[in-house]
Amino acid sequence: MHRQLQELFESRVNRYVSNSRETNSVYPKAEKKRETLAKRNAEIVKVIAAGKMIEEAAEGDYHTAKYLVHYQYLIKQQGNLYIEEEIEARMGKFYKEELIFDGELDPFKATHLQQPENSLTPIEEDEARLSFHYNRLKVVQYAERWWNSYNPAYKKFEVDCTSFVSQCLHEGGAPMSGYPNRSKGWWLRNNNWSYSWAVANSLRLFLANSNNSLMAQEVSGPDQLLLGDVICYDFQGDGRFDHNTIVTGRDAYGMPLVNAHTYNSRMRYWAYEDSSAYTPNIKYKFFTIAGGR
């Protein structure tokens, strides 16, 4: 069983390299990634990948294996090199030791926290404005340190993308406010939290409406963002945002590269066109954080 997974694993890695001659790919994700890179005049020149088995189960002649793959892509663009990383969760199914299925597990299909409909816009009520200096370097350092692990100082959520961005903002100096009202402000304390801390759509609403503590300005495009700024994603284009990322770098054209949780990623191109969650209806919101440059 493990031998078959290893052979399949090695075949997939080869498909990421731009000079691969194989055409009838059984791994469309690799082809999609190569296509999206080509649109940016970029290519993968080397891939390093490591697998880790996380769960195995057997029932009669059937065997199921869940495993993680850590990809490191060396990307070349306009003569510049940088490393992008991501963690992919997959599941293989076997019948009598023969592989009959192998597919990616979509982390965005996990149960998302939601804010009640009657409290969708967080409001800062009668609180003095909290001034702060936003340290963008510390934000990037934190996002780099914890992009693929979980800081025990903060509560871990099953769908952790928004909490991760909130942690980054807080480590950069953004002050919490609004406790103990979960529909107000932006905060985490012990085992309790505001919706805006951990719910993707709620953080987007908070950044758009806050006039106290953590404040942000919506801008029209990704090229206007700085390190430590936030991008919000509505994959279905239905008005309810599903995902958030933090800007940690720029490519050769000055466009944002981001770090994220849930689908743990590092230095990923901001548009997510190679994501399994991407749809043609995707919408974005871009927020630059106030409090210092």
Q: Pick the range with the lowest mean pLDDT from 80-89, 208-217, 252-261.
A: 208-217
Q: What is the DSSP string of the chain?
A: -HHHHHHHHHHHHHHTSTT----S-S-HHHHHHHHHHHHTTEEEEEEEEEEEEEEEEEETTEEEEEEEEEEEEEEEETTEEEEEEEEEEEEEEEETTEEEEEEE--GGGSPPP---GGG-S----S---------HHHHHHHHHHHTTS--TTS---SS-HHHHHHHHHHHTTPPPB-TT-TTSSB-EETTEE-HHHH-HHHHHHHHHH--SSS-EEEESSGGG--TT-EEEEETTSSS---EEEEEEEE-TTS-EEEEETTTTEEEEETT-TTSTT--TT-EEEEEEEPS--
Q: In the predicted model, what is the mean pLDDT of the chain?
A: 90
CB 154 within 8 A of CB 125: no
pLDDT above 60: residue 84: yes
Q: Pick the range with the lowest mean pLDDT from 119-123, 166-170, 216-220, 222-226.
A: 119-123
Percent of the chain with pLDDT over 90: 76
pLDDT above 50: residue 89: yes
For residue 53, what pLDDT band results from cuts at 50, 70 and 90?
very high
Domains of the chain: 2-105 (no CATH), 117-289 (3.90.1720)
Q: How far apart are CA 28 and CA 174, in angstroms?
A: 40
Q: Is the pTM of this model over 0.85?
A: yes
pLDDT tens per residue across span 94-122: 999 899 999 999 877 655 566 665 555 55
The pLDDT value given to residue 116:
63
For residue 1, what pLDDT band results from cuts at 50, 70 and 90?
low
